[in-house]
Amino acid sequence: MGTGRPPTIKTVAARAGVGRTTVSRVLNGSPLVSEKAKAAVEAAIAELNFVPSSVARGLVTRRTNSIALVIPESESRLGAEPYFSAVIRGVSTGLAATQTQLQIVLVRDKSELDHLTEAVAARRVDGVLLVSVHRDDPLPDLLEGFGLPTVLAGRRSAAEPLSHAHSDNLGGAKAAVRHLLDRGRERIATITGPLDMEVGRARLQGWREALTEAGRPPDGELVAVADFTEEGGRRAMVELLAQAPDLDAVFVASDVMAAGVLLELRASGKRVPEDIAVVGFDDSMIARHTNPPLTSVRQPVEQIGSTIAQMLLEEIATPGTPRRCVLLPTELVVRESS
Amino acid sequence: MGTGRPPTIKTVAARAGVGRTTVSRVLNGSPLVSEKAKAAVEAAIAELNFVPSSVARGLVTRRTNSIALVIPESESRLGAEPYFSAVIRGVSTGLAATQTQLQIVLVRDKSELDHLTEAVAARRVDGVLLVSVHRDDPLPDLLEGFGLPTVLAGRRSAAEPLSHAHSDNLGGAKAAVRHLLDRGRERIATITGPLDMEVGRARLQGWREALTEAGRPPDGELVAVADFTEEGGRRAMVELLAQAPDLDAVFVASDVMAAGVLLELRASGKRVPEDIAVVGFDDSMIARHTNPPLTSVRQPVEQIGSTIAQMLLEEIATPGTPRRCVLLPTELVVRESS
DNA sequence: CACGTCGGTGGGATCGATCCCACCACGACT
DNA sequence: AGTCGTGGTGGGATCGATCCCACCGACGTG
């Protein structure tokens, strides 16, 4: 009852009474084939349930029709951080119209990094999408060295040489801090992401600029650096409370960290927003469910995903496309925490 | 400044002064090659930075070294539902020791389904993992028809013919309801997932059995069917409150739905847990951040992921492996909502 | 000394597609 | 009538690996 080998282009040719090349022409929509031959081939394809082997095709066309989405997190944040799921969803929609497959590569340690570089060297993918890039991440340059089309979600610095799409972190952070100022807050602290990531620096810079523009020179002791994790956010809040017990607002660079902040504030008897106002970033699902619901800066993560997917597809289709950079807007969503 | 074509096995052979076959032998660790030849080949490989083309290899070995994880959700729940991220993470760890690549396929509509079947027919993957299967999902049978190794997370019914791993939904639900009984709750309702999914039915059945075993015949009007979404959970709660205003506990078949339930209860002025106790299922991240924190049944989602990945790898490595079924334990995590 | 045996080796065929090129029939043009 | 172009066609080479098999030299043996 073995199904036998799947039919090949040769089987189809025999069945249709034509040569292999003609079948290939039909498959690739060449105009140089008679109506009669075309009909015969199409009938044979349908009868045999033939689908051309993508591997064999890839060998000669040098295309795999698949791209990799690389998620590099030593402490895997996929799952803890809704951001990544949203990117995946966005990339998937950006790819939907094409035949391109999406490979997810989680890079958590050295061995997974080796697997990735080997996969790339073995030409298993036509291009790579990178998210959550750190300043001296070796990966982007490595990929460029391979001559593989690469597009980033986010960027390493303002001078990012690779194509990328990112959201207006600076503007979003400024809007958040201005909102806190409007509510009459006096001592506004911030909890940042890692400063070796441009998101981290940009959101911090937004906090600084908003305060400066309001005529209030930012105060160094009101800054705590954390790592985008819930526990990191909690610890940063402990630190801030010790350094500046009189603070009455905190702009937190991610919702997940803000969730940790809220837990810590409740534990230490502070009321939100009466004693301390809190604003997060991302407007992820948890923002609606924290206690109290969290004011947050929404960024169009899914749209970033679909954008970078399309940019990468274009770069693959027409190599040598000039580098492009897309900036997407953010928006403040006010809830009860501020 | 074109990098030129990447080196092939032929280039390496020339460089090492041996034949192509010898290089191939070294690559595949054949013992029938002299120390001297082996050293020469390895040196040449290192110098040229050669990595064998996985596409060319795949053509003859009939292996792509990649598997697909299919996430079929018309209303894409990836992102809203942390379950999927956890599965992805688990699958990735299950694959980590191998060279196998992971493709994510989101199936949201007919066209994406067609893409999937075409990818499968074109032999782009060695096997498929399916999550969130519905009772009359055509996909599992379709894949089996292709003769492609397939493993499920969860199952369609107790008589699932395909290999799968799933968690003890029945036991978990019973534990949840028993916990509510222990706390002295009298009228315990339940909000179920879709009943065309075995998870939905099993958790409902657990609720029934626990009540029956406690000598309290379950009451039909205490059941509301929902769809695993937050909004669905909220609506189901509205329904329950209308049907049975005197209920004092509700077992909700997922945390995301429970989050919606909590919002609705607060909106209608009910106190949790004083007036109504709530227990969720999944013990996902949101459970710790709802107001109040949610008692929930933990299921080892990540472990399910790594398990099905390994099962699939074995099935690919040795075709004809007998179908296997792995049951993983659940555990009740008590918080303030009950 | 001839004859197998056996570790080591490389050439040719193969996998299933695309692409180059030669070829064929037909109508048009000189 | 002979040449030319041109739509349509198929055979052979190619992509880069693996695998089958023939081959070769150096042993050991009767």
Q: Are residues B283 and B318 in the same domain?
A: no
For residue A277, the model assigns a pLDDT of 98
Q: Are residues A175 and A289 in the same domain?
A: yes
The answer to whether the beta carbons of residues B309 and B244 sit under 8 Å apart is: no
Q: Residues 6 or more apart from B184 whose CB is under 8 A from it? A: none
Question: Does residue A308 lie in a domain region?
Answer: yes
Q: Are residues B254 and B243 in the same domain?
A: yes
Mean pLDDT score of chain A: 94
Q: Are residues A38 and A155 in the same domain?
A: no
Question: Does residue B2 lie in a domain region?
Answer: no
Q: Are residues A38 and A136 in the same domain?
A: no
| Whether pLDDT at B94 is above 80 | yes
Taking only residues 293 to 322 of chain A, the set having a beta carbon closer than 8 angstroms to any beta carbon of chain B reads 302
Chain A interface, best mutation among B124, B265, B266, B304, by max A CB count within 10 A: B124
Domain that holds residue B133: 66-167+302-328
Taking the CA of residue B199 and the C1' sugar atom of nucleotide C18, their distance in angstroms comes to: 48
Question: Does residue B76 lie in a domain region?
Answer: yes
Shortest CB distance from B259 goes to which of A6, A53, A289? A289
- Rounded mean pLDDT, A109-118: 91
A337 φ/ψ sector (left φ>0, alpha ψ -120 to 50, else beta)? alpha
Mind listing the pLDDT tens digit for each residue in B122-158? 999 999 999 999 998 889 999 988 889 999 999 999 9
| Whether pLDDT at B82 is above 90 | no
Mind listing the pLDDT tens digit for each residue in A259-314? 999 999 999 999 999 999 999 999 998 898 888 999 999 999 999 999 999 999 99
Question: Does residue B197 lie in a domain region?
Answer: yes
Taking the CA of residue B120 and the C1' sugar atom of nucleotide C21, their distance in angstroms comes to: 35
In percent, the amount of chain A with pLDDT more than 70 equals 97
- Rounded mean pLDDT, A70-87: 80
Question: Does residue B333 lie in a domain region?
Answer: no
Report residue A241 as tokens: 């409370």
Q: Are residues A189 and A288 in the same domain?
A: yes
Question: Does residue A334 lie in a domain region?
Answer: no
Cα distance between residue B26 and residue B54, in whole Å: 16
Cα distance between residue B338 and residue B295, in whole Å: 6
- Strand D proximal to A32 Cβ, under 7 A: yes
Provide the pairing of β-strand A331-333 with A295-298: antiparallel
How would residue A226 be classed by pLDDT, with cut points 50, 70 and 90?
very high
- Rounded mean pLDDT, A103-129: 93
For residue A291, the model assigns a pLDDT of 85
Domain count of chain B? 3
Cα distance between residue A164 and residue A208, in whole Å: 25
Q: Are residues A127 and A203 in the same domain?
A: no
For residue A117, the model assigns a pLDDT of 93
Residue B90 to residues A71, B271, B309: CA-CA distances in angstroms? 14, 37, 8
For residue B276, the model assigns a pLDDT of 98
Cis before A194? omega within 30: no
Q: For residue B228, give the CATH number of its domain.
A: 3.40.50.2300
Report residue A29 as tokens: 């929509």
- Rounded mean pLDDT, B228-244: 95
Task: Name which of A249, A254, A252 is nearest A283 in CA terms.
Answer: A254
Question: Does residue A3 lie in a domain region?
Answer: no
Q: For residue B43, give the CATH number of its domain.
A: 1.10.260.40
Task: Name which of B26, B104, B43, B30 is nearest B69 in CA terms.
Answer: B104
| Whether pLDDT at B53 is above 90 | yes
Q: Which helix or strand (DSSP H or E) is residue B107 part of?
A: strand B101-107
The answer to whether the beta carbons of residues B222 and B244 sit under 8 Å apart is: yes
Question: Does residue A231 lie in a domain region?
Answer: yes
Q: Are residues B29 and B50 in the same domain?
A: yes
Q: Are residues A257 and A277 in the same domain?
A: yes
Please give residues of chain B from 8 to 67 whose alpha-adjacent beta carbon (CB) lies under 7 Å from any atom of strand C.
Answer: 17-22, 25, 31-34, 36-37, 59-60
Type of residue found at B167: S
Q: Is B88 helix (H, G, I), strand (E, B) or coil?
A: helix
For residue B1, the model assigns a pLDDT of 43
The b-or-e profile of A131-144 (16+ CB within 10 A means b, else e) is bbbbeebebbebbe
- Rounded mean pLDDT, A44-53: 96
| Whether pLDDT at A2 is above 60 | no
**Minimal C-alpha gap between A85 and chain B (Å):** 5
Cα distance between residue B27 and residue A102, in whole Å: 28
Q: Are residues B158 and B307 in the same domain?
A: yes
Asked whether the beta carbons of residue A292 and residue B291 sit closer than 8 angstroms, the reply is yes
Mind listing the pLDDT tens digit for each residue in B270-284? 999 999 999 999 999
| Whether pLDDT at A1 is above 50 | no
Q: Which nucleotide is nearest to A6 (CA to C1')?
A: C16
Report long-range pairs for B150-158 (Cβ below 8 Å, ≥24 apart). B150/B312, B151/B127, B151/B308, B151/B311, B151/B312, B151/B315, B152/B308, B153/B87, B153/B129, B153/B304, B153/B305, B153/B308, B154/B197, B154/B198, B154/B199, B155/B198, B155/B325, B156/B198, B157/B198, B158/B198
CB atoms within 10 A of CB B87: 26
For residue B285, the model assigns a pLDDT of 85
Q: Are residues A81 and A146 in the same domain?
A: yes
| Whether pLDDT at A155 is above 90 | yes
* Highest mean pLDDT pick, A132-136, A142-146, B40-44, B217-221: B40-44
Shortest CB distance from A122 goes to which of B51, B89, B302? B51
Q: Are residues A48 and A79 in the same domain?
A: no
